[in-house]
Structure 1
Amino acid sequence: MESQDDELWSRSLKSDGTAFGALFDRHRDRVFRHAYRLCGDRHTSEDIMASVFLELWRKRRTVVLVELSILPWLLVTTTNVARNANRSAFRYRRMLDSLPRQDEASAESGEAVYLQSALDKDVIDALQTLPTMDLQLISLVAFEGYTITAAAELLKLTPAAAKSRMHRARLKMKDALPLPRPRTHYAMEGKGS
């Protein structure tokens, strides 16, 4: 019966890559569809699916089959990974939205390239004010999309310490970024008017 994964799982636990690959082939479409329902983006769903199977391998010693199937564990894990991905994407969008923006008129002029390079330099300068641990944490969570928990584990921090460091790092970056300058439109106004 196709829903019975116990033999493949038992072989996978003995480092049988072919058996693990067969489990992946058997369940990847269901995991992908579930991820897609939760996030609505094909690329993000593919990332979630990959993370779920990586998590399956990482936690293989504690995974429990339900009615001889690995699928329930995969679907629950997909839900958790998708929630984390959605929260991470929201935080990333919020951080990007908080950065100074240029208006469309300046984007149409040659000034746009200068403004973007100035913004990039400001962000780089703000990142350089952070201690190494905080920079690694911001990089993992804000730029690479890892959860705070995953980043904390990688950096050997408790999740609470990582959250606290993340909060302080964001405040420090916000303080290090220059305030948005008032826009002057003298270049767009007609001369002699």
Structure 2
Amino acid sequence: MGNKGDSEEVLWRQSLLGQGEAFGALYDRHRDRVFRHAYRLCGNHHDAEDIIAASFLELWRRRKQVRVVEGTILPWLLVTTTNMARNSARAALRYPRLLNALPRTEDMSDPTADSYRSYQDALDQNLARALATLTAEDLHLITLVVFEEHTIVAAAVVLKLTPAAAKSRIHRARQRLRAALDGDASINPPTAPTPVLEGERT
């Protein structure tokens, strides 16, 4: 039976034998990082939750085909999450009217907090749009090497590239991503309201 303290390789071997508890331990171990990656790609929490659910389901469904790199399944899982996010984005584009027609509840929270939350949401959406300009392979490389800090060699193994090709591609991908972010820099942080001093109230 899987134990959360076991090494990942042990847990994965147990998962390959169909042990759900071991797979659950792997889910607990990687869920937060996969969620952060999914959120980075789609820019909202609801879609990110759907994406990670689909990604872990795919991990279980295709567990016999998963490539373990440097003792971890995380690179394979991140690549799968990227693919799921791209599929999710394409599906959303097919139904924009339906998505826009969904009812929204009224928000009675603090306006200043709302401004900062909207600003952060806009930044998240900007990053998601910039990442969407990359090819699938370049996005995989940026994810594995830049965001998740895996080595170029490990990323190359997952993506079936030579280390030299991976290094060249990620250099160009960084430049494209930087250009996309620089071209979408029209969002200004909200200004805090001017405090009203005692005696100034009318």
Bucket of the pairwise TM-score, normalised by the shorter protein: 0.3 to 0.5
Bigger-Rg structure (1/2): 1
TM-score by length of 2: 0.45
TM-score by length of 1: 0.47
